[in-house]
Every structure is written in structure tokens, then in C-alpha cells.
Amino acid sequence: MSAITESRFYTVGLVLAWYSSNIGVLLLNKYLLSNYGFKYPIFLTMCHMIACSLLSYVAVVWMELVPMQMIRSQNQFFKICVLSFVFCASVVSGNISLKYLPVSFNQAIGATTPFFTAVFAYLITMNTEALLVYATLIPVVTGVIIASGGEPSFHLFGFIMCVGATAARALKTVLQGVLLSSEGEKLNSMNLLLYMAPVAVVLLLPVTIYMEGNVVGITLALSQVDFRIVWYLLFNSALAYFVNLANFMVTKHTSALTLQVLGNAKGAVAVVVSILIFKNPVSVIGMLGYALTVFGVILYSEAKKRSK
């Protein structure tokens, strides 16, 4: 087998691992929060962050999968804390939305990330795009409006949470580019996660205690009745870390643009798989709306590439 063939097999394997972990954690979150009835999205997010803290340390410090990058100043640490807060808001809001919305509609809203990225890029950095780039955002937003109108399981609070999660995800991307833009402060995604995850745990702990009460005691009591909950949480939390690891590895071995294209396809795959598993009702109008959004995202990616 040639080196080129081996490289292609390796890349395909990475992409499959990224798809599997990404879609897997999404579906398992939905199952736990909605179907299983584990109604503690903040605690679930904290479990994810604890796993990310521990496994990031193992991967970066012990296994040395990537060179460790040290924090150089208090100012840099403050910037990481800001990013961690926005990251927490994104993940918690996304998990809360899964209590109320089907995965298919959740993914349709999540596809509008480019719209929020463009808005925040303009508001924060005054960075403007070519008119064609902005024009491609029209079908992105229009598609979600159509999908919302045709969604049989529409829930206003879940919708607001999902939009908030999408906006926070875009905000983190823009802030990361601004706050960690100097050569001395840039961190690769694995090192950034190594520092952000423990900060996220510290931020989420008091919120979990205040908002979700004796969730640890409730979980332990539940494990006495159904021990599967322990395995669900452990596997789900580990999977949340491997999403980030696979994302980093795919980006490293392909490109950011390829990752964007693959991400669009991943959303469509997640929609199909979730409908097959959870059998949530869908409408023709809803699916046409989602298809329009994905088409808009593809046009957006192409317009961005040509404008550079």
C-alpha cells in the first residue's frame, strides 16, 4: 500500500471518527435529557468539562499528542477565562435546547452559525465582507424561518436557547481571533481546551448547585435503580472530549475549509440519523427550510473563499 493511499485511509478514518463522536454525543445528549428523563443539562455540561479537563491533561501533558503551550501572562489567562465563559454559555444553552427540540431542528438552527459570525465580526472588529458574502446569508436565515414555521415540535423556549447557543458559538470564534491574535498568545485548540475546561468547571459548579440542587445525590440514587446512568454519563462525557480531539486532528490533516464542508454534511447526516432513531415528526416544509439553510451555508463558504 502506497504512502498516499495510507494517508487517504487515515484521513477517512479521522473523518469517520469525528462524525461518529460528534453525532454520537449529540444523540446521547438528546436521549439523556429528553427520552431518558435526566433533566439536568448544566450538570451534564459540567461532566463534559470535567472529562475534557482530565483527558486534555492526559493527551497534552502525558501523551504529548501536541506540544504544550504555556500561559504567558495574567492578561492571557483573563482572555482564556472570557472565552471559557462564552463556551460554557454555548454548551449549556445547546444542551437545554435538546430538552425541548428534536435534533433535526436543533441542527437546522445550528447551521446559521455563519450569520452570527458575520454579525459579531462586524460589531466587534468592524470587519466587513464582500456584498456577495452577505447576500448568501439571506437563504441561511430564510431557511431557518421556514423550518421554524413547519416544525411540528416547535418550542419557543427551546428555540431561544438553541439560537443563543449558536450565537455564543459564533461569538467565541470571533473573540478567540481577537483576544488570542498575537503570536505570543495564540494557542492551538487542544491547548486552549486544556486551559478552558477547568475554568468552565469552576464557573459551572456554583450554577449547577444553585439551579439544579442536589443533582449529585439524585444521580447516585438513580444509579441504585438503574446503574446504566453511570455508564451513560461516563461514555457521554468522554465522547464530548473526543469530539474536540477529532475536530483538531481532522483540521490538522485537511484544512479549515474542508472541515467547514464536512461540517455541513455532518449536520445533514445527524438530521437523518436522529429522525431514524427518535422518529420525531418532520414536515416537508421543515425539511425544505433546512435544505435551503444548508444550501445558503455552502454558498457562503464558496463566496468567502472567492473574496479572499
Compute φ and ψ for 266, nearest 5 degrees: -60, -40
Cell numbers 438503574: residue = 226
Backbone phi, then psi, for 186, in 5-degree steps? -60, 135
Q: Give the pLDDT confidence of 116-130 residue by residue, as tens digits.
A: 999 999 999 888 888
DSSP state of 68: -
The 10 Å Cβ neighbour count of residue 303 is 18
Distance of CA 22 to the CA centre of its chain: 8
Query: How does residue 76 score in pLDDT terms, banded at 50, 70 and 90?
Result: very high
- Asked if residue 2 has pLDDT above 80, the reply is no
Per-residue pLDDT tens for 225-277? Answer: 999 999 999 999 999 999 999 888 887 777 666 666 677 778 888 988 999 99
Q: Is the pLDDT of residue 180 over 90?
A: no
Q: What is the rounded average pLDDT of the residues 42-53?
A: 97
Q: Are 10 and 253 in contact (CB under 8 A)?
A: yes
Alpha-carbon distance 217 to 233, whole Å?
A: 15
- Looking at the predicted structure, is the pLDDT value of residue 40 above 70? yes
pLDDT digit string, tens, across residues 205-219:
999 999 998 999 999
Segment 182-194 shows an average pLDDT of 89
Contact indicator for 100, 158 with CB cutoff of 8 Å: yes
How confident is the model over 84-95, as a mean pLDDT? Answer: 96
d(CA 169, CA 191): 18
Phi/psi for 115 (5° steps) reads -60, -50
**pTM of full prediction above 0.85:** yes
Q: Yes or no: say if 102 and 274 are a contact pair by the CB < 8 Å rule.
A: yes
Average of per-residue pLDDT values in the chain: 90
Percent pLDDT > 70 in the chain is 96
Confidence of residue 4 (pLDDT cuts 50, 70, 90): low
Helix (H, G, I), strand (E, B) or coil at 13: helix
How far is 97 from 197, CA to CA, in rounded Å? Answer: 21
